[in-house]
Amino acid sequence: MPYYSPRPPRGSPQLHTAYGIAVPPKGDINMDDYRANSLNQPCRFRDILKTGKVIVGTSIAIPSVAIAKHTATMGFDWCFIDAEHTPMGPDLLTDIIKTINYYSEGSMASVVRLPTHGHEWIAWALDAGAAAIVLPHNYGYTDGVPEGSSLLNMWSTNAAIIMQIESAEGAKNAERICCVEGVDAIMIGTGDLRLSMRLPFGFDGPEPEFQEAVKNIEEAAARHNLPLAGFALGPPAVKAKLKKGYKLLMVSNDMTSLTAGQSANLAAARSAVTDSKKVEEKKSFVGKAENVIVAKVAARAMAGQ
């Protein structure tokens, strides 16, 4: 149950109005229904995954609490916090997780990709209130999910374990990884997977061997009824992922959003400046032409005298 009823609107509706940006519509799932008893605790993310509904998220790769504050009010169902490829220590990671939980009022789940499988990182993330942890670089050798000590048993029952498969070897052993007890979802790291197969870096590709590797992971997850997580940047990618049964979609991230937004604004401004110059040049040309005509008329008038 929510602490306050009725609540003030989340996010910054005034900011959306000021910039002429439409407020995004709500998703298929009401995250408040899965909120924890305290914002210090993870939401019931495992129960969310069991619904089979699609949850739409974003990603944070810039190690900044300020970015987390802004992201938390945007209305996403979950936020992927990348602690593997981002230089952040446990203190900053804890602050970002708590910021997402607090500023979203528990309506956005914090999903953390850890830098290692070490129990200390697992404990730090869960104790901070992470709704799920993503364990990277799984090759199929593990016999179980590593456990991190936590303050209360609730952390273990609510938080989800997501195994990331991102290598050719991991793709071959997808069945072994998916059948590990305690795994709640599978994430495919297509970029690293392509590199491990000596293919050009990218999120997708037409190569038969790459498509076969991805298919092997997806089919193994489906056999074990494990939802799939992955990036889906742009409507075509979202539709393609949904068609394959993905339930955890990351549709944006802070760096690409910042780059795309600033680049679009710069391009629009450059275009406006160019158009303005053309208008001024046209006015100047017309003005000069008018002066020439006036001079010719005056000259004729003088000659007629």
Residues 6 or more apart whose CB falls under 8 angstroms from that of 186 comprise: 162, 163, 164, 165, 174, 177, 178, 217, 220, 221, 226, 227, 228, 229
Contact 113, 191 (CB under 8 A): no
Tell me, what amino acid is at 59?
Answer: S
Tell me, what amino acid is at 203?
Answer: F
β-pair partners for 253: 59
CA–CA dist 186, 178 (Å, integer) = 8
Question: Looking at residue 138, what is its pLDDT?
Answer: 85
pTM over 0.95: no
Question: Looking at residue 144, what is its pLDDT?
Answer: 53
Positions in the chain short of pLDDT 70: 1-16, 141-156, 281-301, 303-305
Question: Looking at residue 98, what is its pLDDT?
Answer: 96
Question: Looking at residue 153, what is its pLDDT?
Answer: 47
Question: Looking at residue 36, what is its pLDDT?
Answer: 86
CA–CA dist 106, 43 (Å, integer) = 7
CA–CA dist 83, 62 (Å, integer) = 10
Question: Looking at residue 47, what is its pLDDT?
Answer: 93
Residue whose structure tokens are 């089979």:
52
CA–CA dist 130, 90 (Å, integer) = 13
Question: Looking at residue 295, what is its pLDDT?
Answer: 61
> Mind listing the pLDDT tens digit for each residue in 219-272?
999 999 999 999 998 899 999 999 999 999 999 988 888 888 889 888 999 998
Contact 217, 188 (CB under 8 A): yes
